[in-house]
């Protein structure tokens, strides 16, 4: 928390100066047992440009601000989710929270995944931390996300839930630190 809050404060200050208000983005996600909750992120898109499904089309998405692109690249926009963790809606380790559209569309997969709280970190989230770059390389980002990336990520998240214990919890955190420190 000593690292997170100063970084969050500086990011929010830059956002106020260069993007204006609001600086926090609120979005409904599905949590454990499909319970809806409001997830917090730093706003990385221009105001009033979100589509009805709240889908991102990759780094080439013209709705993303310059500062927002930087915040997304380094996952700084995710820091407000520590509030969700403190509220008990999320965990540090668990599958990334998903929008209701996809939890319904892929309900059979999410029925297994949402047996546990969603989290800030998972093997799938770490492995596909460059998801927006991958989506920017394909002709139809939404189709690619639904047919390729989401199924792969779901399988990894199902394995995480099925093998969830203290050892796997800390191994995900160590995997994240190893990946981040090797950049």
Average pLDDT over residues 82-108: 95
Q: Is residue 23 classed as helix, strand or coil in its secondary structure?
A: coil
- The answer to whether 122 and 172 have CB atoms below 8 angstroms apart is yes
**Residues 153, 126 contacting (CB under 8 angstroms):** no
The pTM of the full predicted model, rounded to 2 decimals, is 0.86
Side-chain half-sphere exposure of 172, counting CA atoms within 13 A:
26
Q: Cα separations (Å) of 160 from 17, 55, 168, 173?
A: 40, 25, 8, 13
DSSP 3-state assignment of 138?
Answer: coil
Q: What is the pLDDT of residue 3?
A: 74
Say what the pLDDT of residue 54 is: 55
Whole-number pLDDT of residue 53: 57
Q: Which pair of structure tokens corresponds to residue 109?
A: 């997969």
Q: Output the pLDDT for position 84.
A: 97
Residue 183's pLDDT band (cuts 50, 70, 90)? low
CA quadruple 55, 177, 89, 33: dihedral positive or negative?
positive
Q: 22-78, pLDDT tens digit by residue?
A: 999 999 999 999 999 999 999 988 887 666 555 666 666 788 888 988 898 888 999
Structure token pair of residue 11? 């990011």
Give the model confidence (pLDDT) of 77-89 as tens digits.
Answer: 999 999 999 999 9
- Which residues pair with residue 28 across a beta bridge? 38
pLDDT digits (tens, 9 = 90+) for 113-160: 999 999 999 999 999 988 888 888 899 988 999 999 999 999 999 999
Tell whether the model's pLDDT for residue 162 goes beyond 70. Answer: yes
């Amino acid at each position: 928390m000593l690292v997170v809050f100063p970084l969050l404060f500086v990011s929010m200050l830059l956002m106020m100066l260069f993007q204006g208000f609001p600086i926090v983005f609120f979005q409904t996600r599905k949590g454990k047992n499909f319970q809806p909750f409001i997830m917090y992120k730093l706003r990385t898109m221009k105001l009033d440009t979100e589509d009805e499904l709240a889908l991102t089309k990759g780094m080439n998405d013209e709705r993303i601000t310059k500062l927002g692109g930087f915040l997304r690249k380094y996952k700084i926009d995710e820091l407000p989710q520590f509030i969700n963790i403190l509220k008990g809606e999320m965990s540090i380790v668990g599958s990334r929270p998903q929008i209701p559209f996809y939890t319904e569309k892929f309900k059979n997969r999410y029925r297994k995944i949402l047996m546990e709280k969603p989290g800030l970190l998972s093997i799938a989230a770490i492995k596909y931390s460059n998801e927006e770059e991958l989506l920017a390389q394909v002709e139809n980002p939404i189709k690619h996300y639904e047919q390729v990336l989401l199924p792969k990520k779901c399988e990894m998240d199902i394995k995480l839930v099925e093998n969830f214990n203290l050892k796997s919890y800390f191994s995900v955190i160590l995997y994240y630190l190893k990946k981040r420190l090797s950049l």
